[in-house]
Amino acid sequence: MRTVMVLATGGTIATRSNATGEAVARASGAELVERLAAAGDVRVQVDDVFRIGSYLMTLERMRTLALRAQEHLREKDVAGLVITHGTDTAEETALFLDLFLHDERPVVLTGAQRPADAPDSDGPRNLSDAVTVAAQPSSRGLGTLIVFDGSVFAAGGTRKSHTTASSTFASPDGGLLGWVRGGTVHLTQASRPRLRLDLSAMDPSRARVDIVACYPGADATALHAFAAAGARGIVLEATGAGNANAAICEAVSELTASGVVVATSTRVAAGPVAAIYGNGGGADLLAAGAVPTGVLRPPQARVLLAALLGVHADPCAAREALAAYTTG
């Protein structure tokens, strides 16, 4: 019999309404698993790690979750892990785990868009699908996955695309790996190479990374303020294919020279960051020292850069690793 370990962290899948009608993460992992349909050859066990809304997730909590996942993966009879998680920041946690968990067995994040006490809650089906994927041998080697509304996504490049729809997750740049139908997993992609970082070397105290939005007329105030507050890395949420303006480019050059790692992402839903335009555009940002982040949007670009800065005390090493990840 295969064992799937469910690590519960809270999120909408665990929420119930309180006396004032507010949704609060209250259901335990055991309560969530109780609603699963019995699977004859899969044994489900539960570990309650957190019970929070995922908007309260932090790098420290992600590290704690990764350490707990490592502990369970030391058990040889565990076929895979399922992590119940809020949808607000599932994309960040998924990428963090993908970077630091090196086991070939699947680690699957899932959750819900409707509370546990809603009559039409989508949590039970999503959890059942996630357990099915985690127990499936063909899921090995795919890294951390997000399973939601019948779809299977790779961690990198997947993001929440709708605030309330049940089919909220999307991966416009090719991260859809398959689907789950009637208890059967259909995967269209095989194992893939992944960056493997050392979790024991990850120090969240040196991993502050902030996100700065670029917009018409933006100046460098936020960039300098975050650097002064101790940011060792900054992600630009640039316009278009990764553009800003001359003032932003000048600040990027100054910050890069001082040891702050600057990465360029974009506010656009799909497509890669590309160094095309001058006069303050992506080509000038690249010349100023910013590192393009490919198809990663700002939330995941921040997690990647924070992970690299947490592992590498030398910002130059983190910058080189970031460039290698996003171009390789």
Catalytic center residues = 12
DSSP state of 54: G
Could you give the CA distance from residue 301 to residue 29 in angstroms, rounded to a whole number?
30
Contact of 199 with 67, CB cutoff 8 Å: yes
Amino acid at site 102: H
Phi and psi angles of residue 123, each rounded to the nearest 5 degrees, phi first = -60, -50
> 201: helix, coil or strand?
helix
Could you give the CA distance from residue 222 to residue 139 in angstroms, rounded to a whole number?
42
Residues forming beta bridges with residue 80, ordered by sequence position: 4
Burial of 20 (0-12, 13-18, 19+ CB in 10 A): exposed
Q: How many CB atoms lie within 10 A of CB 241?
A: 18
- Going by DSSP bridges, is the β-strand pair 169-170/176-181 parallel, antiparallel, or unpaired? unpaired
Contact of 84 with 54, CB cutoff 8 Å: no
Contact of 30 with 53, CB cutoff 8 Å: no
Residue in 73, 101, 67, 55 with CA at minimum distance from that of residue 4:
73
Q: Hunting for tokens 């050059």 — which residue is that?
A: 253
> 178: helix, coil or strand?
strand
Contact of 212 with 225, CB cutoff 8 Å: no
